[in-house]
Structure formats: structure tokens, C-alpha cells
Amino acid sequence: AQSVAQPEDQVNVAEGNPLTVKCTYSVSGNPYLFWYVQYPNRGLQFLLKYITGDNLVKGSYGFEAEFNKSQTSFHLKKPSALVSDSALYFCAVRDGNTGKLIFGQGTTLQVKP
Amino acid sequence: KAGVTQTPRYLIKTRGQQVTLSCSPISGHRSVSWYQQTPGQGLQFLFEYFSETQRNKGNFPGRFSGRQFSNSRSEMNVSTLELGDSALYLCASSFQEGPGELFFGEGSRLTVL
């Protein structure tokens, strides 16, 4: 069955330091991978996606993600964190066969000044 | 361009009642999907509609239903409300079916007493 795992409930990082939010997936067929961010009391905002092509995907607000097929991972990264990056981050995978979009449990990113 | 609009934003119901939530997608978007977000279960897929046809359905009981109109607006209905139905219900739209990014509304927060 398709699934997405975000192994960390919370990630803490100091402003200016690099950040990584982890995501692993399991799907049948080709994976279409996404990262979304949610600010308090708001809907989700799209950050980036991997459909095919280069394994390093660049997205909004300076975020990027690396697709690793052998490790079935799609970790979100940013070279230098900002306090304003503090939010809830969701990894999602769209099963290429069924079309369903499955979200991970979310990781809270806390960036401290 | 206006974003995805969900109404009402907040509502309180009692057990046994029913509720209808509305979603107006971004102009030109023909695909609408619904998600339930709770602290315990995270984001769970409810349904996806494209051109008035349900394309996918999540693992929810029959009390949860939805539909899409010819103008792409969508509604979801929950009958015989239970306490566990208290959640943030998110609607998302996209231009077409397939692995494109979703654009989310800010959600309808339902509280069942």
C-alpha cells in the first residue's frame, strides 16, 4: 500500500543554519512527490514537486528537495533557515496508478533567532 | 486571480446533525479534491472530482459524500455527525487531473459537540 513517512515530528534549527526535513515514501508505479507548507490557521501552500527529470528540485522561498529513488526519499532542504520558515511541512506522494494523493503526518519546523 | 474559497470558515454542529461545506475552485480549474485534517490522523484524502465525476474516493464511511457542479464548484456533506468528525476540512483545486500541484483553500473548521 502507498504510504509516506515523515520520521520527525519536529525539527529545530537556528536561523542561518541549513535545514533538512525528511520524507520517505512507498508507492506502486511512478511516484509524483510534493512538499507543502501550512502556516497556523491557513490552508496548505505548494512548495515544490518532483515528477521526472533532475533529482534536485528547486521550489518556492529558497527551498529545494532531493529525490533519491534507491532510498525512496524526498528530503526538503534549505541552505539558510529564516525565522519565518517556522511552520508545518507536509510531504505528499501521488500514486501514479490510482491518482490518490497521500500526505505524511507533517513535521513542525521551528527556526529560532 | 482569486484563490480557492471555502465556506463557511467556521461552524459548530451537534451530534446527529448534518453539514454541507462549499468550495469554489480557482477560475479555470476543473479538478477539486477534499481532505480532512485532524491532529491525530493528519491529512486524509476524502474525494476527488473532475468534470462533475468522482475520480477517487478515500476510506471514509458513506456518511461522507460530495459532488461537483458544472461550474466546478464542489460541496461535501457529512450526515449524522459524530464527535470524531470535528476537523479542518480542506478543499484543493487544480487545472486538470494528474500530478500537478494543488491549490488549497483555507479550510472549513467543523466542531461537533
The B residues from 60 to 89 touching A (CB cutoff 8 Å) are: none
Per-residue pLDDT tens digits for B33-77: 999 999 888 899 999 999 999 988 889 999 999 999 999 999 999
Give the CA distances from residue B90 to residues A31, A80, B60, in Å, rounded to whole numbers and listed in that order.
23, 31, 15
CB pair distance less than 8 Å for B56 and A98: yes
Stretch A11-40: mean pLDDT: 93
Q: Are strands A10-14 and A107-112 parallel, antiparallel or unpaired?
A: parallel
- pLDDT confidence band for A51 (50 / 70 / 90): confident
Q: Cα–Cα distance between A36 and A38 in angstroms, integer?
A: 7
Q: Cα–Cα distance between A23 and A91 in angstroms, integer?
A: 6
Nearest C-alpha in B relative to A101:
B45
Decide if B66 contacts B49 (C-beta within 8 A): yes
- B95 touches A: beta carbon within 8 Å: no
Q: Would the pLDDT of B24 be above 80?
A: yes
The fraction of chain A above a pLDDT of 70, given in percent, is 97
Decide if B100 contacts A33 (C-beta within 8 A): no
Q: Residue A44: name the closest of A34, A31, A57, A56 by CA.
A: A34
Per-residue pLDDT tens digits for A54-70: 899 999 999 999 999 99
- B102 touches A: beta carbon within 8 Å: yes
Region for A41 from its dihedrals, namely left if φ exceeds 0, alpha if ψ lies in -120 to 50, beta otherwise: left
